[in-house]
């Protein structure tokens, strides 16, 4: 499975913060925002990842992430000259996807919860159709919403319904089989001139090939696209770090624990950052340790 991080857009809800820098480069406590969606793809077992961003933002992501080899990954970059909707990622990334299934994650989304890595890896195996991830929210009218039957099967999708039939928001993480490229090519732009991801998902639902994984109690899903949400996400990460010693979204640690790199390589990455608590954490967890079971 290939991975795509969609890091485009103008971040207008975060102005003036994003007038000179990509939203996905802003800090969420101790690391850039894009580390969090990147960690999701890594936990899913995906090692070939494309970052899609505005042309003027691509150089910054290249400087930050490089070619991925330091993490045992392969990164590529593609430009989206203007926002054309989430489904446009499959057209921009068609060559990267090739004949494989693909996971799309939005660059401003943060996920955390017990056993999340196991859920991701199980969902990524043998995708036949699409896999969507639902999360209960108190204001579902702001999101795409999934309705399920008594057996938990997805029966309806609605985009920002005035009267929601469910409180299950469709999060910014999607797994698709290779048909998604052709489906995206066949979409007509919506009234706002964009290729809507809900229209893609609706095609799969009508085919009877839309699976809905519910992330319930104990899980956290944050969209960091507003000032309040960005602050809340940083506070959440800080609390976990200070009270439990857990650093979520730490891509170097995940690369090591998933077996993409060895302990010594992870330690060297920490040494290069040794002037910061983040680097010191990497050095501490790799000092004389053996690689444990995969995280998440």
pLDDT above 80: residue 287: yes
Query: What rounded mean pLDDT belongs to the chain?
Result: 94
What is the torsional sign of CA 158, 38, 47, 292? negative
CA distances from 20 to 17, 52, 159 (A): 7, 18, 31
> Is it the case that residue 252 has pLDDT exceeding 80?
yes
**Chain segment 34-51, per-residue pLDDT in tens:** 999 999 999 999 999 999
3-state secondary structure 32-98: ECCHHHHHHHHHCCCCEEEEEECCCCHHHHHHHHCCCHHHCCEEEEEECCCCCCCCHHHHHCHHHHC
Looking at the predicted structure, is the pLDDT value of residue 183 above 70? yes
d(C-alpha 161, C-alpha 157), whole Å: 10
pLDDT tier at 295, thresholds 50, 70, 90: low
Question: Assign residue 38 a region: left if phi > 0, alpha if psi is -120 to 50, beta otherwise?
Answer: alpha
Which tokens sit at 50?
């494309």
Nearest in space to 239 (alpha carbons), one of 37, 28, 41, 33: 28
């Amino acid at each position: 499975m290939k991975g795509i991080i969609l890091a485009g857009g103008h971040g207008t809800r975060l102005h003036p913060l994003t007038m000179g820098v990509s939203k996905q480069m802003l800090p969420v406590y101790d690391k850039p925002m894009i580390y969090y969606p990147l960690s999701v793809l890594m936990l899913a077992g995906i090692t070939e990842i494309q970052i899609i961003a505005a042309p003027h933002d691509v150089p910054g992501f290249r400087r930050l992430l490089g070619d991925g080899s330091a993490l045992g990954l392969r990164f590529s970059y593609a430009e989206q000259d203007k926002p054309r909707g989430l489904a446009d990622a499959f057209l921009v990334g068609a060559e990267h996807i090739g004949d494989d299934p693909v996971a799309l994650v939005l660059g401003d989304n943060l996920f955390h919860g017990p056993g999340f890595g196991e859920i991701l890896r199980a969902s990524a195996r043998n995708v036949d159709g699409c896999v969507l991830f639902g999360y209960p929210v108190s204001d579902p009218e702001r999101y795409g919403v999934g309705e399920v039957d008594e057996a938990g099967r997805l029966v309806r999708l609605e985009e920002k319904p005035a009267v929601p039939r469910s409180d299950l928001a469709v999060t910014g993480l999607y797994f698709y089989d290779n048909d998604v490229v052709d489906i995206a090519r066949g979409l007509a732009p919506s009234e706002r001139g964009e290729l809507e991801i809900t229209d893609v998902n609706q095609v799969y639902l009508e085919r009877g090939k839309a699976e809905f994984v519910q992330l319930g109690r104990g899980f956290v899903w944050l969209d960091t696209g507003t000032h309040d949400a960005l602050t809340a996400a940083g506070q959440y990460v800080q609390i976990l770090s200070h009270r439990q010693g857990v650093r979520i979204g730490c891509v170097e640690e995940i690369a090591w624990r998933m077996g993409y790199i060895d302990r010594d390589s992870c330690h060297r990455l920490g040494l290069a950052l040794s002037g910061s608590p983040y680097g010191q954490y990497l050095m501490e967890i790799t000092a004389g340790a053996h690689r444990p079971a995969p995280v998440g």
